[in-house]
Structure 1
Amino acid sequence: MVTETRHPLLSVVVPVHGVQAHLHQCLDSILDGLDAADAADVELIAVDDASPDRCGELLRAYAARRPAVRTVTLPSNVGLGLARNAGLDEATGRYVWFVDSDDWLPPGSLAAVLRRLRADEPDVLLLDHLRVHHDGRLETDASSPLLRGVDGCVRLADRPQLLRVQHTAWNKVVRRPFLTELGLRFHPGWYEDIPFSHPLLIAAERIAVLDQVCYRYRQGRPGAITSTRSDRHLDAFDQYDRLFGWLAAARPGDARLHAELFALMVSHLLVVVGNDHRMPPELRRAFFRRVAGHYRRYRPAGGYPRPGGVGGLKHRLVAANSYPAYAALRAAHRIAGRLRPAHPVVVEPVSAGPAAVPAAAPGVLAGRR
């Protein structure tokens, strides 16, 4: 008699490196509070990416106590994207969710995700999140309102604004056979989410939205990419080359998508070049020149939806490859910003449901990855 092996509905892949202070909070937030049926439908795959601290030891002890946890130990550090690939290779669930090990899930998030996966059976399930600052302040993402009012499953053609939702892997739960069909993997280098997240939404036939805060995104952790000054931020250009290469092969001649992705690329690269926490001052001019090069390389022949206001002015300065004017504008904008009153603290909502999510504060989009 042959017994059919039952696979879980969801595999949660957690790459781990240098986060021993936050590791247990992350893992507990995934597994705690599930009823027996939900617990049986979840596996957690933690990937020790040659962590230099005690993470490997902590993972082994944790897995010994929790049968739903499997560990993968990498002999050398490969980076976030390739560590996710290693976890994906071990996943057996119908869906996969990539959760970063310095972040965590609010109570009830995983149960809500499982309910939506069972009900809608999407290719991609989009989730809302909150940013958590070191002082405990909570902040919504400027793209969060784009998740409102989506019932059932849609295609990107029905809701094109979904392409502008934060382009990270952790706010998307993906059907694993769909990933296999697309042949999508994470590439090495920083900003590995760029050529992964956009193709998911473009290719999906069934996109569902869980308009609920299901993820807490930690801000300002020492060692995080978004808090590290490095020339590795230049990796973003290779990742955008991969994205536009995929687009040319998968959607040749799609001028609308090309224009939309181009606008997102320029705005994102301008965020990186202007961010003091990421960009070493001595590299800012060279990075700006690279942005101008990508602008010329990928600019749509029929134009694109350039933003208004100061953002649109920065786009025009990139088009002109005018770093001195950009630097002057940036300095003036920073002085004006220091003169404005600080945004008020956002009080943590009592409920994690959609009605409790505060409105997006102006300018939050500037903090995108």
Structure 2
Amino acid sequence: MLLSIIVPTYNRADRLCAVIQAYLNHIADALGGEQCFELILVNDGSTDSTASRIEQLSEYESAIISVNLSTNQGPGLAREQGLKVASGKWVWFLDDDDQLLKGSLHALLDLLLNVSESTTTIAHSLKQNYSKNKCGGNISFGLISNVLNYQEQQEVFNFVIKRQIILDNNIKFSSGVHEDIRYVFDVLRFSSSITVLEEKVVEKKCSDDSITLGMSTRRISGYLNAVAEVVPNLELLHLKSGMESLSLNSILTQTIGVILYQIDKEKTQNVRVSLYRFLGKALRSKNFSALMLDELSLIRDEPRRASTTNFKLATCIFLEYINTLSPQWSKVDTSIKDVYASRLSCRDLDKSIFLGPNEIRACCKRFYFRGKREGDVVLLKSNSDVTFEDVQNAKSDLLSKINSGEPNSCDGCPYLERRTAENERINYISLENFSYCNMRCDYCSPKYYGGSESSYSALGMVKNLMRDESLLDERCQVVWGGGEPTLSPIFKDVNRQLVSSDKIQKIRVLTNSLKFSEELFSLLEDPRVHIVTSIDAGSEAIFRSIRGRGTINAVLENLQKYQQAMSDIRRLTIKYIVRSDNCSSSELENFVAKIVSQNLIGSVFQISCDFQLNRAGMDVIKGIYELSTRLLSAEAHVVVFDDLIRDRVSVNKAQLHEITRHLDSLGLNNRFLVSADHPQEVVLWGVGLQSEWYQNHTTAGDAGLLDAAVYNQDDLTKLGSEFLKNEALILPCGVQSLYEILQNIETGGLSSRLARVVIA
């Protein structure tokens, strides 16, 4: 016999026949007949007519074997009784309300017929995407870790098991609920070879009377008992694998976090408080080993960081409450509800959409984690049918992984923060939905050189967003990136959609300006449209080396033309990415001279660095401050450092000394440098990451010169008359919002206080 399928059932007389008949038909069809399998139905002491229904089925279906229990023992012990009469080489435990997916079932049963003899367990219908079919080794540490940390399916029906390893290792189900967890743990740790089928075979159906529907004291006990049962074998696995996720700390935290999450979903406070009381009592029970109780104390006292997941935070808070003599359970309820009303996220995940060449991304941020560059997180690979709803669903899946501690593409991201969970509208649209470019910059990705539009309809996506303005924030910003956006055949049509909406506050076009665009020139008549052009060189040789094609002069001539269509030259941002090969003094001096000669010094200047760097070297840091000083000396009004500098530069006193010595050697005036010994206080206009960087990663910030940060005129007024009397300067802190900040400063009549400085 190839396969024994064991199905425990309790009081399901009204629906059992349909479920079992579907099982029989699908499995017999996949195996080419019934002689290869047996279906063992275990009546777990039902009080309705389930027993007689099973007898009727067994009379007509030769594959069915019936087992009748006189008392209800629970699903785990009922499975044990079924296993006693099983004769199959493989065992598959199913429930009496599952649905088999016919196409995938064929793949699973075909695998059973052809799998290597060394395979002892076949896993299927899993949450995680396991790239290698064989997990390898004596134990699949990753699979065990995911199961115990609630990051993988824990139900036994997700595993088809060789009957012999169950018998040889005396693997038994426990009584109660969530009995699957320890059973699956034992199966995996005793399996010498595991094969993973990357297909969903079983659709779990929760019936109205399911024992795992809603939280209960029985379920809490089941979860905690499962942890207690795996503890004796956990330390050895932890040592063998070296995986922190197989530590008792991690598994206890995840287990309690899951319980608290499910309690919080209960609708009435009385029910929630009752369950919290039960959990608190259980966690202080003598049934817990001394090892587990000690670990709970360590978890309770762990520091809580901005990146702490919901499960971890809720667990720490709950343990802190129950450590008091008389916990105030209503406060416990409020605190846990506050945790799960928020979650780890970021502005981009909550409020942005990034349309890439052949993918839709969650962000365009890059960061280093464990020595590897990460970021540009992909939500969906593009296809012609992708919709905004698909994007939102992909975001929800990613947020769920982030907050449950599952491995995900945002692990290690410094931009994650705790945010209130709400239905936030889109306030940022990034358009890079094409692969057109007339340059070949050495820092750019080849994916922008293909010469095509995305397979999904970016124009259709934009039309939908404009049509349903409930999706858009009142102050939505759009950025055209790439690639060269003006070469896109839909550049004109998309912009027509954008400018038609009053909710679009700003459209920034990141163009290389190598080729003059009549469409862009016409678009610039709308005061909401801005241009950003990166030049990155002062000589034609370096320009050609970095940008691949074209000349600086051609770019500057086109910028002059675009300037004529602008009512305010500050709608033009000229960018310079400082690198080791373009930061020589002669290169920087030539760049500034060309800007002055073309009458572009009134533009906004954005200084950046190479995103591929983990940390900027001293040559780049000196280049950043030299270029800033040269621009300000040439009467530039605004010089801003962008987020790439913010994430890769931190100025200390030793570095400041090198910067000032470098500027002195060039005869450049240090009066534009605000550092620890600057005589004037500086008020930062902007309360985001930029102002935080100035305050926490510069000598001026360390010296307390940048303590005041304001968001608007009202905040400035709150600083009081003392501010108005002194000579404090105002420094605009922002990159994409810089133009609006400058307008706010002017509206407040504070232009004379505008700081033409850079912070060090």
- TM-score past 0.5 threshold: yes
The 3-state SS of whatever aligns with 2:102 is coil
The 3-state SS of whatever aligns with 2:251 is helix
User: Are 1:330 and 2:336 an aligned pair?
Assistant: yes
Partners of 1:222 and 1:174 lie apart in 2 by 29
The amino acid across from 1:125 in the alignment is I
User: Are 1:60 and 2:55 an aligned pair?
Assistant: yes
* C-alpha displacement of 1:28: 2.4
**1:316 maps to which residue?**
316
Question: 2:133·2:195 contact (CA, 8 Å) conserved in 1?
Answer: yes
* C-alpha displacement of 1:228: 4.7
The amino acid across from 2:213 in the alignment is S
Question: 1:126·1:171 contact (CA, 8 Å) conserved in 2?
Answer: yes
**2:115 maps to which residue?**
120
Partners of 2:218 and 2:276 lie apart in 1 by 13
1:162-173 superposed matches below 5 A: 163-164=145-146, 165-173=152-160
Which structure: larger Rg?
A: 2
CA-to-partner distance for each residue in 1:274-325, whole Å, 9 max, x for gaps? Answer: 3247775313133045347768437399999x98432231243355455767
User: Are 1:239 and 2:226 an aligned pair?
Assistant: yes
User: Are 1:282 and 2:278 an aligned pair?
Assistant: no
CA-to-partner distance for each residue in 1:12-54, whole Å, 9 max, x for gaps? Answer: 0000112234323431232214346453211100000011222
Partners of 2:298 and 2:110 lie apart in 1 by 43
**1:297 maps to which residue?**
293
The amino acid across from 2:12 in the alignment is V
**1:107 maps to which residue?**
102
**1:199 maps to which residue?**
186
Partners of 2:40 and 2:335 lie apart in 1 by 46
The amino acid across from 2:277 in the alignment is R
Structure 1's 284 and 89: CA in aligned 2 closer, same or farther, altered over 3 A? same
CA-to-partner distance for each residue in 1:332-358, whole Å, 9 max, x for gaps? Answer: 245569xx9xxxxxxxxxxxxxxxxx9
Structure 1's 175 and 149: CA in aligned 2 closer, same or farther, altered over 3 A? same
User: Are 1:29 and 2:14 an aligned pair?
Assistant: no
**1:345 maps to which residue?**
none
CA-to-partner distance for each residue in 1:230-288, whole Å, 9 max, x for gaps? Answer: 3222233233222213446x759558468526323431332223324777531313304
Structure 1's 261 and 107: CA in aligned 2 closer, same or farther, altered over 3 A? farther
**1:83 maps to which residue?**
78
* Total equivalences in the alignment: 323
Question: 2:314·2:339 contact (CA, 8 Å) conserved in 1?
Answer: no
Deviates more, 1:274-283 or 1:46-55: 274-283
Deviates more, 1:34-43 or 1:193-202: 34-43
Picking from 191, 208, 226, the partner of 1:222 is 208
Structure 1's 25 and 110: CA in aligned 2 closer, same or farther, altered over 3 A? farther
Picking from 5, 12, 20, the partner of 2:13 is 20
The amino acid across from 1:283 in the alignment is L
The 3-state SS of whatever aligns with 1:70 is strand
The 3-state SS of whatever aligns with 1:45 is strand
Q: Which runs of 5+ in 1 are unaligned?
A: 1-7, 130-143, 341-357
Picking from 161, 175, 188, the partner of 2:175 is 188
* C-alpha displacement of 1:56: 1.4
TM-score norm. by structure 1 comes to 0.75
The amino acid across from 1:269 in the alignment is I
Q: CA RMSD in A?
A: 3.5
Q: Which runs of 5+ in 2 are unaligned?
A: 147-151, 344-349, 351-392, 405-760
* C-alpha displacement of 1:196: 0.6
The amino acid across from 1:178 in the alignment is I
Deviates more, 1:287-296 or 1:39-48: 287-296
CA-to-partner distance for each residue in 1:127-156, whole Å, 9 max, x for gaps? Answer: 116xxxxxxxxxxxxxx1x23322246247
CA-to-partner distance for each residue in 1:97-123, whole Å, 9 max, x for gaps? Answer: 110112121114443222112322421
Picking from 378, 397, 400, the partner of 1:363 is 400
Structure 1's 313 and 273: CA in aligned 2 closer, same or farther, altered over 3 A? closer
**1:150 maps to which residue?**
132
The amino acid across from 2:132 in the alignment is V
Deviates more, 1:105-114 or 1:177-186: 105-114
Partners of 2:91 and 2:140 lie apart in 1 by 24
Question: 1:163·1:198 contact (CA, 8 Å) conserved in 2?
Answer: no
Question: 1:189·1:235 contact (CA, 8 Å) conserved in 2?
Answer: yes
The 3-state SS of whatever aligns with 1:96 is strand
Partners of 2:57 and 2:247 lie apart in 1 by 41
Deviates more, 1:86-95 or 1:38-47: 38-47
TM-score norm. by structure 2 comes to 0.38
Partners of 1:174 and 1:301 lie apart in 2 by 38
